[in-house]
Structures are given as structure tokens and as C-alpha cells.
């Protein structure tokens, strides 16, 4: 099992589910991905769930607060990007036309973070580690393997993220669809769908992909547990097979089965 010792700045380092039914979410995702979990108190009645795979942290979940729900925040998966300085990332994000929704603030002795939105409105978080590095496992079924940025203005978003994290955006060698691959240093970490590949009615957002052994089987399993399938399993030549779903509470995510070579 490939274990992550540390995250390079600019890499996705944590994935957090905000949900309306934490107990149901724990049941759904542990059954779907074979995760175990540990709950940690974060208030008088609130708990923070850390999901694990093979003893390593893989993701987390919490219950949306009343103020979030009153502001219309839906159940969602939030991506965290590793940074060396959360305060500087928040300041620079605002300079680039983004928004600072929360922070920067300390999360006990685990790290320092901020919740931001890019210059087109897609929400993400930054994480400056202290005692918690973020996810500790990769490349296994049940881990996040990719993230797509859906935005109506890719040029504006590309400028924002290049200036903030140093990301580069490149076209596939044989891909004429307009899909762009996000490269952090030498590692491909995600992509930006072209206008023809995104729902024009969807707000800007990040969507994460979980690696699975069999996309069709996992999609069917998710359906039996109450998930809604937005896109049934489909194949991408020389890439793999994927589907897009809402979990039972409404959070969107994707399943991805890499093509074997």
C-alpha cells in the first residue's frame, strides 16, 4: 500500500465531506470503499469522523452547521491543497480575485487552514500542516485519485491557480476535446473540463474521483445504498471508466476505474 509521508506544496492533501447525516454517511462510505473510521469530539455534541484505509487516513466527514445550512451550503466534498503558509495563501488568493470564506485559523495543533473560493467561485481549502499531514495513502482502491475543476471561465481560473500554487495546465497529447490536465510540479493531479464537457447550469466547483476496481460494480453497489447516479458508467479510451453520483445526502463525487495496461 503506497503510504504518503508528506505532501508537496500545491498537492491535494485532504478531502472532507460536509453532510446533513453523518451517521448515514459513515455507513454509506465504509460499505462502498471498505473504510474504517474514528470519531473525534469537536464540540459539545459534534464529532469529526476520520475515515481510514489500511490504518492510514483517507478522508473525513462532519455535520454541516446550522449557519452553513441557512446560507444554502449543500452537502459536498471539499478539497484541501497543501501550502507552506495558510495566511499567505489566503492573502494572495484575495489579491487574485478570490474570496476568503473562513480563516486562516488554527485547527488545534493539527495544522492551520483557510476556506477560499477561486476567482470564478469554486470553493476549496488550503492546509498548512503541523501534526497532521493529511491523507496518508494513495494509489489504492478507495482513495482519491483525481479532481476536476468545473468552471465557466477556465482562463480566469488557470491564471488564479497558476499564480497561487504554480500549477500548469496542459492539453492531452492526443485529446482534442479541450480538456486540460492540471500539473503540480511533475505530477498530474486533476483537470479542467472544456465548456462542452460541463453542465452550464452547475455552479463552479471541484469534484473528486475515488479509485475503484470495477466502476460498474461499485456504481451498482452505491445505488443499492441510496446513491443517485448522475452519469452511468462510461469509458474514456486509453484512460479508464467512470461514473458520477450523488451520495444519499446529495454530495457529488465520481468513481474511477483506471484502464489496465
Report the pLDDT value the prediction gives residue 261, as an integer from 0 to 100: 64
Q: How far apart are CA 2 and CA 221, in angstroms?
A: 26
Length of the chain, in residues: 261
Report the pLDDT value the prediction gives residue 128, as an integer from 0 to 100: 98
Q: How far apart are CA 77 and CA 93, in angstroms?
A: 21
Q: What is the pLDDT of residues 174-184, one digit of tens each?
A: 676 789 999 99
Domain 12-129 has CATH 2.30.110.10: no
Q: What is the pLDDT of residues 125-168, one digit of tens each?
A: 999 999 999 999 999 999 999 999 999 999 999 999 999 999 99
Q: Which three cell numbers stand for residue 52?
A: 481510514
Equal fold, 12-129 vs 144-258: yes
Report the pLDDT value the prediction gives residue 1, as an integer from 0 to 100: 60
| pLDDT confidence tier of residue 238, bands split at 50, 70 and 90 | confident
Report the pLDDT value the prediction gives residue 137, as an integer from 0 to 100: 93
Q: What is the pLDDT of residues 36-74, one digit of tens each?
A: 999 999 878 899 999 999 999 999 999 999 898 999 999
Q: What is the pLDDT of residues 86-121, one digit of tens each?
A: 999 999 999 999 999 998 999 999 999 999 999 999
Q: Are 190 and 133 in contact (CB under 8 A)?
A: no
Cβ neighbourhood burial of 222 (10 Å; 0-12, 13-18, 19+) = buried
Q: Say whether pTM exceeds 0.85.
A: yes
The chain-wide mean pLDDT, for the chain, equals 94
| pLDDT confidence tier of residue 200, bands split at 50, 70 and 90 | confident
The top-level CATH class assigned to 144-258 is: alpha beta
| pLDDT confidence tier of residue 239, bands split at 50, 70 and 90 | confident
**Cis omega (within 30 of 0) for bond into 90:** no
Report the pLDDT value the prediction gives residue 241, as an integer from 0 to 100: 95
Residue 165: CB atoms within 10 A of its CB come to 21
Domain ranges of the chain: 12-129, 144-258
| CA-to-CA separations, 127 to 9, 14, 41, in angstroms, rounded | 9, 8, 20
Kindly give the pairing relationship between strand 240-246 and strand 252-258. Answer: antiparallel
Report the pLDDT value the prediction gives residue 122, as an integer from 0 to 100: 97
State how far Cα 47 lies from the chain centre: 20
Amino acid at each position: 500500500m503506497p503510504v504518503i509521508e508528506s505532501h508537496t506544496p500545491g498537492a491535494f492533501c485532504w478531502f472532507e465531506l460536509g453532510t446533513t447525516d453523518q451517521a448515514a454517511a459513515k455507513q454509506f462510505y465504509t460499505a462502498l470503499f471498505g473504510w474504517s473510521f474514528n470519531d473525534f469530539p469537536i464540540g459539545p455534541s459534534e464529532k469529526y469522523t476520520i475515515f481510514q484505509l489500511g490504518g492510514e487516513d483517507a478522508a473525513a466527514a462532519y455535520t454541516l452547521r446550522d449557519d452553513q445550512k441557512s446560507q444554502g451550503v449543500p452537502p459536498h466534498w471539499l478539497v484541501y491543497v497543501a501550502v507552506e503558509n495558510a495566511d499567505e495563501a489566503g492573502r494572495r488568493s484575495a489579491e487574485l480575485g478570490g474570496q476568503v470564506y473562513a480563516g486562516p485559523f488554527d485547527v488545534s495543533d493539527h495544522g492551520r487552514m483557510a476556506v477560499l473560493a477561486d476567482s470564478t467561485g469554486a470553493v476549496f481549502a488550503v492546509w498548512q500542516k503541523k501534526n497532521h499531514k493529511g491523507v496518508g495513502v494513495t494509489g489504492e482502491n478507495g482513495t482519491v485519485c483525481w479532481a476536476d475543476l468545473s468552471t465557466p471561465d477556465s482562463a480566469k481560473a488557470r491564471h488564479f491557480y497558476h499564480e497561487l500554487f504554480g500549477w500548469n495546465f496542459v492539453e492531452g497529447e492526443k485529446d482534442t476535446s479541450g480538456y486540460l490536465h492540471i500539473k503540480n510540479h511533475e505530477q498530474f493531479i486533476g483537470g479542467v473540463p472544456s465548456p462542452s464537457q460541463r453542465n452550464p447550469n452547475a455552479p463552479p466547483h471541484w469534484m473528486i474521483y475515488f479509485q475503484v476496481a470495477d466502476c460498474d460494480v461499485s456504481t451498482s453497489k452505491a445505488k443499492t445504498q441510496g446513491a443517485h447516479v448522475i452519469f452511468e458508467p462510461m469509458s474514456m479510451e486509453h484512460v479508464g471508466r467512470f461514473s458520477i453520483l450523488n451520495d444519499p445526502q446529495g454530495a457529488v463525487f465520481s468513481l474511477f476505474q483506471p484502464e489496465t495496461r
